[in-house]
Amino acid sequence: MSLLLIVLLGGLIFYMIKAGNSFVTIKITHWLLVVYTSVLVLSTIAVAVLTEETISQAKGGQEVHDEGLSSLYTNLSKGQIDKADEYLIKEIKFDNYQNQTLTITASPDYGSQVFVEKKQGEDSTVELFLYGNELTVDGYDFSNIIKLPDIELAGHTLSIVPIRQNIDLSIATNSYPIRQFTGEFIQNHYFSSGESFIYLRVPRDLELNAENVYLEVVDK
Amino acid sequence: MSLTTTSLAETVKKQYFYKLKANIDSFSSLVGIQILAILFSLGGISSSGMGGSFVNVNVKYYSPDLVLVFTLIWSFITAVTITTRPYRNHDFSFVTSRLSSSLSNILFLVTASVLGSVTALLSGNLLQMISYLILNEQLYNIGSGAEHMVLGFVVAFLYLMLIGACGYLIGSLIQVSKLFVLLFPILFIGLLFLEGVVTNGFIVSNVYKFYAMESVLFLFVGKTVLTAVALFIAAISILNRLEVRR
């Protein structure tokens, strides 16, 4: 459809020039118009090719995301991780953990919640699940550009190292004549981002220590 | 006495093509004003941000809104300009009447509005390309597809026609009496002051709401087309009262 409009525009200009040409010779204004519209047409084609993939529209608005985050917290605190699959970002297994203690450490200002579930049976595997709320801007999902924290198990220390990120986004929106009828707003932006939770499944006799994390033992 | 008779349609057609040629420089100013608006828009038309312990997000929004505003101003000025005496005197190169002159002027404004609306909306793509290629920004496009582009062109065209019709009427009134040159700015600025005083808005905000806040396309088209037609009829009536040539 855009191409059709472009062809129509080109035709209109061509016709105008041709019509004008019957009175006078082509002057620089005609060329200025032709060059300008050509640049606009080329830009239109280039935009389709060069800009990022169309970002997906996340479900719902601010309230839906807040509710989702709240229910995620509730489900994790009750150990109902089967209900939290939607927010699962990463799953890591540390097999055959033989130490008697596990120290979970993070950067002082990380401040994230770590839920711990002690396994019922004999199992020496430490399982880690990283859950998170996606990054959305005005309901559009930009989660793919968020860098996940580095999680390492060295000896008896599980360290969580979040990565500082300054994200600069440029978003091309519809013009006002379109927004007037689609109901989009150029003001009142809303974000949802950044909340992440770690859920650990550890052997039942493991002694846990926490440094700079809020540890919450799940009582199933 | 001439034995040659020409139809109104033929006269209007000749005058229209002549005006396209004679007023071609107004399209140069359209290009200039849109490039200026694009430059002003390079910083984004709005921005917002969010900060956390580890993630800071800054968002810059691009849209051709400012280009459209500048194009509306251009449309208004062009409409006023073509009612001035030097431009009206062009008509006397042809067998002419006040009606044919006005109809050819309106056709010229329609053409200008088509060109203005299409270029204004397509300039949004140029804006994106500049930010992507020159400013090296990671650009995401959340604009709608082709069907909304058509909607945008139609609505922008109607806005340009509406403003063009306002300009044409004001230009016509100024031809009747030069007092309007003083009266209109005083009236406009006075109304803006009143807007600041009156609690629920006065004329300007209500006019803005009437057109720009209308979310039903059918009603918007009705409002703009009827208003533009009424304004053009009023302008034609006023210009018909002018002397043949002063």
DSSP secondary structure letters along A9-55: HHHHHHHHHHHHHTTS---HHHHHHHHHHHHHHHHHHHHHHHSPPPP
Mutate to test the interface with A, among B27, B54, B129 (most CBs of A within 10 A): B54
Residue A181 belongs to some domain of the structure: yes
Residue type, B227: T
The interaxial angle of helices B24-41 and A28-50, nearest 10 deg, is 40
Interface ipTM > 0.90: no
Q: Is A7 on the interface with B (CB under 8 A)?
A: no
Question: Which of B242-246's residues contact partners 24+ apart within 8 Å by CB, and which partners?
Answer: B242/B98, B242/B175, B242/B176, B245/B89, B245/B92, B246/B85
Which chain B residues are within 8 Å of A196, Cβ to Cβ? none
pLDDT above 60 for B64? yes
- Same domain? A66 vs A162: yes
Q: How far is residue B1 from each of residues B5, B14, B213, B245, measured CA to CA in Å?
A: 11, 21, 55, 19
Q: Do B132 and A51 touch (CB under 8 A)?
A: yes
The Cα–Cα gap between B53 and A164 comes to 8
3-state DSSP helix/strand/coil % of chain A, to nearest 5: 35, 30, 35
Q: Is A30 on the interface with B (CB under 8 A)?
A: yes
Q: Please count the structural domains in chain A.
A: 2
Residue A55 belongs to some domain of the structure: no
Give Cβ neighbours of residue A8 (< 8 Å, ≥ 6 apart). none
Whether the Cβ atoms of residue B223 and residue B158 lie closer than 8 Å to each other: no
- Same domain? A114 vs A83: yes
Give the closest of A12, A142, A182 to B144, CB-based: A182
**A154 CB-side CA count, 13 A:** 6
The Cα–Cα gap between B214 and B220 comes to 6
Q: How many residues does chain B have?
A: 246
- Same domain? A103 vs A29: no
Across residues B59-64, what is the average pLDDT?
89
- Exposed (0-12), middle (13-18) or buried (19+): which is A137, by Cβ within 10 Å? buried
Whether the Cβ atoms of residue A119 and residue A217 lie closer than 8 Å to each other: no
The Cα–Cα gap between B157 and B192 comes to 26
Whether the Cβ atoms of residue B10 and residue B65 lie closer than 8 Å to each other: no
pLDDT above 90 for B70? yes
What angle (nearest 5°) sits at the alpha carbon of residue B51, between those of residues B48 and B56?
A: 85
Across residues B95-121, what is the average pLDDT?
89
- Same domain? A95 vs A14: no
Whether the Cβ atoms of residue B153 and residue B121 lie closer than 8 Å to each other: yes
Of the pLDDT bands very low, low, confident and very high (cuts 50, 70, 90), residue B216 is: very high
- Same domain? A24 vs A71: no
Which range of residues forms the domain containing residue A200?
62-217
Quote the pLDDT of residue B231. Answer: 95
- Same domain? A38 vs A127: no
pLDDT above 60 for B65? yes
Q: Which of B122, B121, B204, B203 is nearest to B158 (CA)?
A: B121
Tokens 């493991």, residue?
A206
Task: Find the range with the poorest average confidence among A82-96, A182-196, B66-80.
Answer: A182-196
- Same domain? A150 vs A173: yes
Across residues A6-25, what is the average pLDDT?
61
Residue A178 belongs to some domain of the structure: yes
Quote the pLDDT of residue A71. Answer: 81
Highest mean pLDDT among A64-68, B45-49, B114-118: B114-118
Whether the Cβ atoms of residue A135 and residue A141 lie closer than 8 Å to each other: yes
Q: Do A16 and B111 touch (CB under 8 A)?
A: yes
Which chain A residues are within 8 Å of B156, Cβ to Cβ? 175, 177
- Same domain? A69 vs A126: yes
Residue A52 Cα, gap to closest chain B Cα (Å): 5
One DSSP character per residue, A71-123 reads HHHHHHHTT-GGG-GGGEEEEEEE-S---SEEEEEE-TTT--EEEEEE-SSS-
Across residues A167-179, what is the average pLDDT?
87
Q: Do B62 and A176 touch (CB under 8 A)?
A: no
Q: How far is residue A107 from each of residues A104, A111, A161, measured CA to CA in Å?
A: 11, 8, 6
Average pLDDT for chain B? 86
Residue A155 belongs to some domain of the structure: yes
Quote the pLDDT of residue B135. Answer: 75
pLDDT above 70 for A25? no
- Same domain? A138 vs A33: no
> Tens digits of per-residue pLDDT, B173-209?
998 888 888 888 888 888 888 877 776 667 788 888 8
The Cα–Cα gap between A163 and A178 comes to 39
- Same domain? A205 vs A107: yes
pLDDT above 70 for B170? yes
- Same domain? A71 vs A40: no
Residue A57 belongs to some domain of the structure: no
- Same domain? A35 vs A126: no
The Cα–Cα gap between A189 and A195 comes to 19
Q: Do A169 and B60 touch (CB under 8 A)?
A: yes
